Chain A
Amino acid sequence: MKIVLLSGSKVGSKTRTAIDYTKKSITEKYPSAQTSLIDLAEYEMEFSDGRNYLEYEGDTGYVTKTIMEADAVIIGTPIFQASIPATLKNIFDLLPVDALQHKVTSILVTAGSPKHYLIAENQLKPILGYMKAQIVQTYVFVEEREFHRKEITNDDVLFRIDRLVEDTVVLTETYTKIREEKEAAYGF
């Protein structure tokens, strides 16, 4: 199982901190899973100009191809101006229409205000749904006060991230099984 962890912002440390913990949790519980962590702060991404993702080179080509090869994508995102960051939206714009078909996606949000709680529900999930992802319905929402010097200090948050990892892996395995059975029935 290939899992991509995507940290969707170029600034700040909280999303990356939460994604780092998520990766650690996967590695400990599911050592056979292959993980790739993509922190958009470390890549020079081009803006989408409409071409197929295979035709981008450099960092843009690497990031899009890595996501397209994944079975599951865990999306970490901060909330900027009551929405997802442009860096993250650009990733979706770079990919084909049905890019997330047969992929499981799950969401981890870091935010400065509890008022942002429904943004993933109202703004991120519709994008993932349009791109045909299988979405882990429960997401993790982490507020600024749970962090101290690039560590998550609230055990409740850590447990919730562990559960998100478990849900992601279980849904990926289950969905893969369902899909294989369905496709085998076609007989081609």
Chain B
Amino acid sequence: MEEFRINKNNGMEIGLYTLGDHVSDPSTGKLMSEHSRMKEMVAMAKLAEDAGLDVYGVGESHQKYFIASSTPTILAAIASETEKIKLISSSTVLSADDPVRVFEQFSTLDLLSDGRAEIVAGRGSRYGVYELFGYDMEDFEELFEEKIDLLLKLNSEQQITWNGKFRPALNEAEIFPKPFSGKLPIWRAVGGKPASAIKAGKIGMPMHLAALYGASSVFKHSIDAYRRTATEAGFDSAKLPVAMATMMYLHKDSQTALKEYYPYLNNTFTQLRGTPFPKDRYAEATSVKNAIMVGSPQQIIEKILYQYELYEHQRFIVQIDHGNMPFKKIQEMIEMFAIEVVPAIRKVTKGK
């Protein structure tokens, strides 16, 4: 775990992430300015740091309804205003980027933040980035596999000789600058299906798993498959951290939470995916066994600990600013999360 800067004595790492989604208010149709939304993401990170959270993530998208296209820039702005919180991409669309440039950017961020930068590399779940940068969806799998191979090499070797299909060859190349302590933690972003988790296990890299809704037990299949594959490939799965990413809404009263959150969740799904969030699926959130993190602080504690029993994961990060959530509500949630939820989770997971 140390290789990935995870200290088990501190208990489960807990944090926030944003995708920088930029959608209109469902009731008024109004759209916040890009300027305000950008500043909000930085302000939210400061609040997370002040509240004592461990991690802050910024996603990457290159199309309408999202403004976080330059993840390392946003993280760098946050780095200059914070001191302790880890800064991760959640996630970097590595398939549509040059691994050398990604490595340079995050090494730079790592130096600027005194060793707080991490890369979560993924294939992207939206088409926009492929179209914009001229990549073929036909190469969806190959693009990522080749680029992650190079990125991991850049992270472990000083001089790189490499050749591949999607980037000019490197001949004894050296990359500058180097990360703060020599190496960056590099995670693989994984969606709900075990197939992608198996790929992460095969190359023995930490897994960052999105688990948005549905039965929590379903995601255990991916985690088990990941650890089993890693072991079979000769890695020690006990040294490979797992992070869970989802969305959350908190209110001191559980019924109010359920009622208030639905329009935001539904707004996010309707505007970003074009399909409303089905109410019957949402109603399942009242069960501790369902992955949708909506409810009172006590309910959320129970849900996280239920998942912890299943997954034994090392990091849990939530998105709380989606669907045009008012900033005042975000502030309240961070405070409630830090005061009422986080200590209970740390107490149980410390030293494990």
Contacts and interface: CB of A to CB of B under 8 A. Distances in A.
Contacts of A182: 279-280
Contacts of B280: 182
Contact of B128 (A55, A96, A102, A186): A55
A99 B275 contact: yes
B279 A54 contact: no
A96 B269 CA distance: 12
A86 B280 CA distance: 33
Nearest to B255: A187
B259 A187 contact: yes
Interface in A36-90: 49-55, 65, 68
A52 B283 contact: no
B13 to A, nearest CB: 31
A52 B274 contact: yes
Interface size class of B (residues with CB under 8 A): 20 to 34
B32 to A, nearest CB: 21
A171 to B, nearest CB: 19
B131 to A, nearest CB: 8
Nearest to A98: B275
B347 interface: no
B114 to A, nearest CB: 39
B258 to A, nearest CB: 5
Contacts of A176: none
A152 to B, nearest CB: 36
Contact of B278 (A50, A52, A98, A99): A98
A188 B258 contact: yes
Contact of A186 (B63, B127, B283): B283
Interface in A9-44: none
21 contacts: A49-B137, A50-B140, A51-B126, A51-B127, A51-B137, A52-B274, A54-B273, A54-B274, A55-B131, A68-B275, A96-B275, A101-B278, A182-B279, A182-B280, A183-B279, A186-B279, A186-B282, A186-B283, A188-B259, A188-B261, A188-B282
